[in-house]
Every structure is written in C-alpha cells, then in structure tokens.
Structure 1
Amino acid sequence: MMNGTDISGYRYSQASLSHAHGVLLDPVYRILGVLYPTCGDRRLFELGCGNGSVANALTQRGWDVTGVDPSLTGIAQARAAFPGLKLRNGSAYDDLVGQYGQFPVVLSLEVIEHVYAPRHYARTVIDLLSDGGVAIISTPYHGYWKNLALALSGHMDRHFTALWDHGHIKFWSMQTLGELLREAGFVDIRFERVGRIPVLAKSMIAVARKP
C-alpha cells in the first residue's frame, strides 16, 4: 500500500511457472552460476515472488529463497503449493530490510513494469543487498525497432495492456532502466536481451552490483 493505492489485487490462478519463465529462467540460472559458482552464501531475496513457482525452482537448485509479493492470491497459491518456502505478503513499499535483513542476491522478474514508484522500488532493492551484492531485474524489452514493429503490426494496444487491471504501467528501455539503477547507486550495470532475436527481444535482464 502506498498513498492509498491498493496493490494487492494482481491475481494468480495456479502455482506453476508461466510461459515468460521459460524465457527467463535459463538465463537467470546461468547468471547466478557465473556470479556464484561455489557453495558460499546462497541466500536470495525474490522481490515480487508471485505464486512461488520461481522460488520453488531456485530452492530445488540449492538457493535459500525469501520472497514477498503484494498479491494476496499469489501468496495464497504459493503457501498451498509450497508450504515450506519463506514467502509472505509484502512489497517494495514496505520496510523489507528491517523485516528480513540483507542478501547477496535480489531477484525481481517482470515486476518493475507494474510499479507505481520505481525510484522507491530501486532504493528498496539496493537496500536489501549486502555490500557487493547483485540485483537481477527483468522487464519487457523496449527499443526503437521493436516499438516500430509493434506499431506497424497493429499490436500496440495489446502490448500496452491498458485494460488490464494491475497490468503494465511503465515501459522500460535499457537507457531508462540503466539511468534508474545508476541513480539508486548501482554500478557495473549490464543488460541481456532474451526471447526472440535481440532487436525484437521479449524481455531484458539487468544485472547490477551494489558497491
């Protein structure tokens, strides 16, 4: 909740991985494997854990996952399907560091495009990280050629999801997301485009380090 806006209404019908996760998870596994190839501190905070399906997949790969999501139905599905996971209702607008502490990794997949106050979100992410920790953030990719293709194909209205309650309200490019992360204090920011060919990529993954 922020400024009286209810953000708990995003709904999930089941606790399974979505089609989008099929595009995102293999790159995320690879990024985590490169950054943390040994069995050191494998704690990970998932900001926007949804129905718990990603947290469950990461737990099966040896990660100790803590996560929050504002969706009441998402957390209900997660608790029913994965009762052993540490997933709770909460959002980037809460005092998450005070509740959960800091982590070497913060993962947030396909969340920031739903966020009303992205600077608050970015501050929360960097605060959740221990020094030298890494944030992995994905969001639908936007660039000149993809936007042109959407316009020419007549798919722009469907893409902008204007009639989707609690849907996408921010549309990020590498430039704007990079600027947001630098403003929050992140360094060593890099991007990877995933799904389709790069100029028409479905999503992009930002990897950024807290100094």
Structure 2
Amino acid sequence: MAETSIVREEIEQFGKLAGDWWDPKGASAMLHKLNPVRLGYIRDWIDQHWALDEHSRRPLAGKTALDVGCGAGLLAEPLARLGAKVTAIDPTPELISVARDHAAGQGLDIDYRVSAVEGLDGTFDLITSMEVIEHTADPQQFLNDLAERLAPDGLLIMSTPNATAWSKLITITLAERFGAIPKGTHDFDKFIAPERMKQLLAKAGLKCLDVEGLAFSPTRGLHLSEDLRLNYLLAATK
C-alpha cells in the first residue's frame, strides 16, 4: 500500500501549468469549461443532501469544505462564495502560490496548503476532488484517506475520466494531440470505470449516492448526461 497519494512526476507536470492557470484560453482552458458543469452538479447535491434552499446565494454558510487537488483554485473560490469555510490542498507549490495570490485579489479567505490529503487533520462537511484520483499512486488508499476526513453526514463529490475507448480517444488521442489538454496529462491505464469506483468507495466505507456522466457535443459543449463514456461525476457519503 502506498504511503502517499502523490506521484512526483504529476507534481512536475502540473507545476508547469501554474503561470496561466487562470487564463480561460490558456493551457487549463478545458478546466474553465468544466467548472460550470461541476458547480451545477455540486449545487444540486448539496441542496439535496442537506435539504437546503435552492435559491440561497450562500447555501454552504456554516459548513466546512475541503477541495483536494485544488490546482490554483478554480473550484475553491466558488465554494468560498457559496459560504463555505474552505481548505484547499495541492502538492504542487507553484499552483498554491498562484491560488493564494488570486484569492487575495478577489478578497476571498481560503486556507490554501501545499499538502496531500493524508497529511491533513480534521474532518469536513463537504469534500470535493475533481479529476484527481486518476493521478494518484493508489486510488484505494486515496479514497480511504478522503473517507477518514469526511464528517458524519458529510458529502463527497468527485469527477474522473471513464476507462473506455471513447474516453481515451477524446481525452488523450485528440485533446492532448491537438493541444486542448497539455500533452502527458493523462495515463489511460489509471482511468477508473464507475463499477470499479463503486467497489473502491465501498471498501473505503463510503456509499455511492449517484453517478452522472459528463459528456460533450458540438451543439451543447460539455454538459451533464446519462452518457458515462467520457467522464463522470459522483456523490457519496458514509
């Protein structure tokens, strides 16, 4: 069993992207396009899970949130605006530096830390980890560590590419070849199918509440879908 979820080569790869992380037309442009879809899913599930007012502008007020593999803060900042007390971690120092500077410029108080999840104390009401598990050394241990930090009645939301030929074609063969995603970002052998993910979650003591596809079409762009072939989001609890 791996002692850490960190893969050193991944840190080097993502550290190179820090400079233009917040540029919607830069190397991380795909993350900017993914973010609104992710946020829609998160908002729907926090409202469902805690029976919140779907019209509230700060539904996470009074709750703690942990964003694991936060990059330079694309998701952490909206979570803070939704009212959460946010801790956001990433093992890449360059990204955390950019995240802190950007949050300060937005007047947001986010606790950014250069850390892996196993190095973190405490529990959190909401844990998010988007497009991270496929970059870890040991997915099962990573989920075990997330489960340990999820508070009672807490909610875990994740996203990851599916282990399908379609996902390999779109994510690696096309997106990386033509520059939509930086080359070398993904390793298809580390992609996880939903069925296997549910097994890993169960072994970590987590119950999968929902799995929803993240699909792409020329007319709609990236959107939530019943089609799981490309990428999917999931919600889980203890």
Q: Normalising by the residue count of structure 2, what TM-score does the alignment of the two structures yield?
A: 0.72
Q: Is the 8 A contact 2:167 2:229 kept in 1?
A: no
Q: Partner of 1:193: helix, strand, or coil?
A: strand
How far is 1:148 from its partner?
5.3
Q: By how many angstroms is 1:2 displaced?
A: 4.0
Q: CA contact under 8 A between 1:109 and 1:138: conserved in structure 2?
A: yes
Q: Distance in 2 between matches of 1:82 and 1:88?
A: 13
Alignment coverage as a number of residue pairs: 200
Residues of 1 paired with 2:5 and 2:66: CA distance? 25
Deviation at 1:50, TM superposition (A): 0.8
Match of 1:85 in 2: 110
Deviations, residues 109-167 of structure 1 (Å, cap 9, x unaligned): 11111111111110110000112222111112345xxx25866x9x8634688x94453
Calculate the aligned-residue CA RMSD, in Å. Answer: 2.9
Maintained 8 Å contact 1:41/1:104: no
The partner residue of 1:135 within 156, 161, 172 is 156
2:11 aligned partner, one-letter code: S
Tell me the distance in 1 between the aligned counterparts of 2:167 and 2:229: 12
The answer for the alignment partner of 2:128 in structure 1 is 107
CA drift at 1:189: 3.5
Indicate if the aligned counterparts of 1:126 and 1:185 stay in contact, CA closer than 8 A.
yes
Structure 2, unaligned runs of 5 or more: 23-30, 54-58, 217-224
Q: CA deviation at 1:77?
A: 0.8
SS at match of 1:13: helix
Asked if 1:47 is matched to 2:72, the reply is no
Say whether residues 1:96 and 2:120 are aligned partners: yes
For residues 52-83 of structure 1, what are the alpha-carbon distances to aligned partners after superposition, in whole Å with 9 as ceiling and x for unaligned? 12111111121211110012221111011113
Contact persistence 1:141–1:193 (CA under 8 A): no
Matches within 5 A, 1:1-211: 2=4, 5-6=7-8, 7-9=10-12, 10-11=14-15, 12-16=18-22, 18-36=32-50, 37=52, 41-83=62-104, 84-92=109-117, 94-97=118-121, 101-143=122-164, 147=165, 157-158=173-174, 164-165=183-184, 167-168=186-187, 170-196=190-216, 197-199=225-227, 202-210=230-238
Paired with 1:188 and 1:156, the residues of 2 have a C-alpha distance of 27
Gapped regions of structure 1 (runs ≥ 5): none
Change (3 A) 1:8 1:190: same
Q: 1: CA distance between counterparts of 2:42 and 2:143?
A: 19
User: What's the offset of the Cα at 1:41?
Assistant: 4.0
Code of the residue aligned with 1:190 in structure 2: it is: D
Judged with a 3 Å threshold, the aligned counterparts in structure 2 of structure 1 residues 8 and 68 are, in CA distance, closer, same or farther, namely same
Q: Which amino acid aligns with 2:35?
A: H
Identity of aligned residues (%): 22
TM-score (norm 1): 0.80
Please say if residues 141 and 173 of structure 1, whose CA atoms lie closer than 8 Å, have aligned partners that are also in contact: yes
